[in-house]
Amino acid sequence: MLARWLPAAVNTRPSEWSRAAIGMSLGTLFSVWLCSQVFGIEVAQHLVGPLGASAVLLFAVSSGALAQPWSILGGYLSAGVISLLVAHVLGRTLGSACLAAGMALILMCWLRCLHPPAGALALLLVLADPATIALDWKALGPVMLSASAMLLSALAYNNLTRIRYPKRAAEPVPVMPSADSQAITAEDLKLALADMEAFFDVTPEDLEQLIHASELHAKRRSIGEVLSSRT
């Protein structure tokens, strides 16, 4: 039972950890600095938590569905609108903040822009500092400015460091003709993911590429074993 709690091995190199760490630091610094120049340091610092969480996604796992441009922009906008609406109707309490976070999650799922840090943003905007409360609906300004700055930072840094971002649609993988009608396709994977009824930060096309790449490595290993047995 204890083995289940052990973390899986990270399949990235230490150099990639360093690349992501530097990008996260620069992206967060730029976002908070720009927001502070327009709306003041108190408002900017109030948003630093969600921005730091977004930076982890955009720089460390930029290929994930939760880290794409529409995810951060749509997620921040959804959380901002919902939280300010709840604050006006129900007041600024812990209960209303938690309700706003839950409603923001539903809206993000509906708009296909699920972004976990936006949940923290919804909580923060309801339980806001005096400077943010004074902005009222104008608080959407610093929210979207900081989100846009973070996205621009990720676009620039990731591509300059040879990480393709945003993620493009997976290219079709050439498949060798086979008489096996049970070969797994992207459509099969979509149906399988739907059956599981859970959130997975991966696309069916990515899974299809991973399966074909695994099959290729298995074939190479099999050929290598055959050749070594003959020598």
Span 7-58, pLDDT tens digits = 766 667 889 999 999 999 999 999 999 999 999 999 999 999 999 999 999 9
> So what's the pLDDT on residue 36?
96
Give the pLDDT band of residue 228 (cuts 50, 70, 90). Answer: confident
Compute the distance between CA of residue 61 and CA of residue 201 in angstroms, rounded to an integer. Answer: 10
Give the torsion through C-alpha atoms of 23, 139, 47, 14, to 10 deg: -20
Q: Which two tokens stand for residue 34?
A: 């720009």
Omega prior to 117 cis, within 30 of 0? no
Summarised one tens digit per residue, pLDDT across range 96-152 is 999 999 999 999 999 999 999 999 999 999 999 999 999 999 999 999 999 999 999
Higher pLDDT, 4 or 148: 148
pTM for the model stands at 0.77
Choose the weakest-confidence range: 29-38, 119-128, 153-162, 172-181.
172-181
What lies within 8 Å, CB to CB, of 141 at 6+ separation is 38, 39, 135
> So what's the pLDDT on residue 203?
63
Compute the distance between CA of residue 17 and CA of residue 58 in angstroms, rounded to an integer. Answer: 13
Higher pLDDT, 154 or 64: 154
- What is the rounded radius of gyration, in angstroms, for the C-alpha atoms of the chain? 22
